[in-house]
Structure 1
C-alpha cells in the first residue's frame, strides 16, 4: 500500500497546485506528518485514507493503487469505447484478453494523437509516430521471425542487423523527441505548455471515456516494469 499511496498522495497535491503546508492544514495534520506520508516513511490510518479521498474527490481504491480510475471504477471490455475504425477481418475467436488490450492501446493512442493535433507541430507528430511505428515493427518482426515458414524477403534489414538497427533508431528518435519537447532546437518553436497539460484530472475531464483506457494502460505498464525490476533483483 505504502508505495502506491505515497506516490498518488503527492501527485494529487501537486496536480491541485497547493503546497504541502496548505494541504496539511486542510487535512488537520502537521506538515512534517504529511511529508512522512508522501515519502512513505510512516503508515497512515484507514480514517486518514478516507479523509484524503474526500479531500481530493477520488476513491480509496484509486489512492491505494487498486484502480487506475479516479472514481475507483473497475473496467470491463464492454466499458471501453470502440476505436473509430475497426480493423478489417479481425477475429479474436471470443478471447477477452486481446480485445481488452487492443482497446486500451487504441483509445490511449486517440488521446495521444488528439494532443499532437492540438500542438500543430509537424516535427513532434513525426517523432512520436516514428517511435510508435518502430515499436510495432519490432513486435511484428519478432513474431514473424519466430516461424521458419515465413519468408525472409519481406524485410530489407537482415536478421542479424534488424534488432540493433531498430533499437538505435528508437533511441535516436527519443533524443530528437526530447529536444523538441524541451525546446532545445534553435530552429524549432517551443511547444505550448497548455498542450502538455496531462494531469489525471484534466485528462478525465477532457476525455471522460477514453481516459479510463489511458490510466489503465499506465497502471499495467508500470506493473510490468516493477515485475521486471523485482526479477532483476
Structure 2
C-alpha cells in the first residue's frame, strides 16, 4: 500500500496547488507526519485513508492504487467508449484485444487533441512518427512470424529493420525533446501551458476517454516496473 498511497497523496496535493503545511493543517495532523506519509516512511491507518479520500474527493481504491480512476471505478470492455476512428469494429467477440484497442484508441484521442491545441507542426510530426514506427514494428514482427507471408512487402531488410526502427524512434524522441526545450532551429518552443494537465482536468475535459488513459498509464507503468525486477 505504502508506495502507491504516498505517490498518489503527493500527486493530489501538488495538483491542487497547496503546500504540505496547508494540507496537514486541513487534515488535522502535523506537517512532519504528512511528510512521512508522502515519503512512505510511515503507514497510516484506514481512518486517515478515508479522511484523505474525502479531502481530495477521490475514492479509497484510487488512493491505494487499486483503481486508475479517481472514482474507484473498475472498468470492463463495455464501459469504454468506442474509439472515434473505427467505431463499431469488433474482434470476433474476443474481449482482450477489444479492451486494449479501446484503451489505446481512446488515449490517442486525448493525445491528438492536445497536439491539435499545440498548433506546432514539429511536435505533431515527431509524436506521430514515433507512434507510427511503434505500430510498424509490432505489425512487422507479427507479419514475419508466418513464414508464408511475402517478405518483399517491406523495403528495409530483415537483418536491419528492427535496429533501424529503434534508432528512428529514438531520433523522434530527440526531435520532440529539442522542440519542447526550445533548441530546435525551426522556431521557439510551444507554450508549455498548452500541456497543463491534472487527473481532475483530464476527467473533466474528457469524461468518456480519461478512464482509458488512466488505465493505460497504470498498465504501462506496471509493465515498466516488471522489467526492473
Match for residue 22 of structure 2?
A: 22
Q: State the Cα distance separating 1:186 from its structure 2 match.
A: 4.4
Q: Note the residue ranges of structure 2 that are not aligned, 5 or more in a row.
A: none
Alpha-carbon offset, residue 194 of structure 1? 2.2
The alpha carbon displacement at 1:193 in A equals: 2.2
The corresponding residue for 2:124 is: 125
What is the rounded CA distance, in whole Å, between the counterparts of 1:173 and 1:211 in structure 2? 26
TM-score where L is the length of structure 2: 0.96
Count residues in correspondence. Answer: 229
Please list every run of 5 or more consecutive structure 1 residues that lacks an aligned counterpart in the other structure. Answer: none
Q: Distance in 1 between matches of 2:217 and 2:20?
A: 26
Q: Partners of 1:100 and 1:109 in 2: how far apart?
A: 14
Instruction: Using the TM superposition, give the Cα deviation of residue 126 of structure 1 relative to its aligned residue in structure 2, in angstroms.
Output: 0.3
Q: How does 1:7-86 map to 2 (within 5 A)?
A: 7-86=7-86
> 2:169 — aligned with what?
170
Q: CA deviation at 1:147?
A: 1.5
| Residue 32 of structure 1: how far off its partner (Å) | 1.0
Cα displacement string for residues 47-88 of structure 1 (whole angstroms, at most 9, x for unaligned residues): 110010011000000000000000111111111111113279
RMSD: 1.3
Aligned residue for 1:102? 101
Shift of 1:180: 1.2
- Residues in 2 aligned to 1:59 and 1:182: alpha-carbon distance in whole angstroms: 37
Counterpart CA distance in 2 for 1:138 and 1:187 is 29
Does structure 1 conserve the Cα–Cα contact (< 8 Å) formed by 2:90 and 2:98? no
CA–CA separation in structure 2 for the residues paired with 1:64 and 1:193: 31
Q: Tell me, what secondary structure is at the counterpart of 1:229?
A: coil
Offset from partner CA, 1:81-107 (integer Å, 9 cap, x none): 11113279x552211110000000000
Describe the SS at the equivalent of 1:149: coil
